[in-house]
Structure 1
Amino acid sequence: MTESVSAALSDDLRAQLIAVRDNAYAPYSSHPVGALLISESDTVYTGCNVESANYKGLCAEAGAIAALVAAGEREIKTIHVIGPGEALCTPCGDCRQRIREFATPDTVIVVVDGKGQPLKRYDMNALLPDSFGPENLDRPSTMG
């Protein structure tokens, strides 16, 4: 699902997403990113990227997911990702896998522009096709 981008944020949620992006610590890349996820219980969790001098940082999506887990929740209903400008700021490969860990077939991933307006909407299969998840751990290998 990438065709329709109708997952617009309320003004309050858009403001939260922009504010968390603006709180990012990105002195090395100058590329602040924010994430806002809504859990199955409709609770909002946010995160921003946090860089370090050794170039090992924490992604915005990872921060929001960590907050979800720390609160005892395990399911992402919707996640919005915002970068600094008009270009798509899609989750990195690691974050696609992190989102996958807590996604359902109904999870919606929305990338918004720097002003919080939706640019593109994904479902998990479009974001990470043929993904590996917890259910794969119980499957025997087909390699001989």
Structure 2
Amino acid sequence: MPSLDSLFEAAKAIQAKAYAPYSRFKVGAAILTPNGGVFTGCNVENAAYPVGTCAEAGAISAMLAGGENRIEVIVVMGEGEHLVTPCGGCRQRIREFAAPETPIHVAGPEGIRKSFTLEDLLPFSFGPDNLSA
């Protein structure tokens, strides 16, 4: 099973590939699945800014394309002095494929800065279980 260090390195490597010519704010994300799969994504902007794709959304898409559908752990990598946590939309996207206790690690170039659970970032969330019959 990949370590947290290897997830950090995967998020850092994909962050460098982000396409952010307008905001110049590059983000990378790496997901570990229960089967040991690692899937990454980076933010992708376009000229119709702010219509773009977040790193977490890209990693989730890669996970699904790779045949997996559960998030065990996620690392989100950003720059600057402030924590780069998933945006509201990505918190909900993560919720679709993760349990409330799923760890979300927020990283900067120096390493993991802070760790949360999904429940910490999205308390009292609405998810797939709300729609189950």
Using structure 1 for the length normalisation, give the TM-score. 0.84
> Cα distance, 1:86 vs. partner?
3.3
Taking the aligned partners of 2:16 and 2:132, their CA distance within structure 1 comes to: 42
Taking the aligned partners of 2:22 and 2:86, their CA distance within structure 1 comes to: 19
Asked if structure 1 preserves the Cα contact closer than 8 Å seen for 2:31 and 2:38, the reply is: yes
> Cα distance, 1:14 vs. partner?
3.0
> Cα distance, 1:130 vs. partner?
0.8
Asked if structure 2 preserves the Cα contact closer than 8 Å seen for 1:77 and 1:106, the reply is: no
Partner of 2:44: 50
Using structure 2 for the length normalisation, give the TM-score. 0.91
Asked if structure 1 preserves the Cα contact closer than 8 Å seen for 2:41 and 2:59, the reply is: yes
Residue 119 (structure 2) aligned to one of 122, 125, 128 = 125
77-86 vs 57-66, which moves further: 77-86
Structure 1 unmatched runs, 5+: 1-7, 140-144
Runs of 4+ with >4 A deviation: none
Deviations 1:84-139 (A, max 9, x none): 23320000000000000000233110001123x11111111111011010111247
Larger Rg: 1
29-38 vs 12-21, which moves further: 12-21
- SS of alignment partner, residue 69 of structure 1: helix
Between the two proteins, the alignment pairs up a number of residues equal to: 130
Asked if structure 2 preserves the Cα contact closer than 8 Å seen for 1:86 and 1:114, the reply is: no
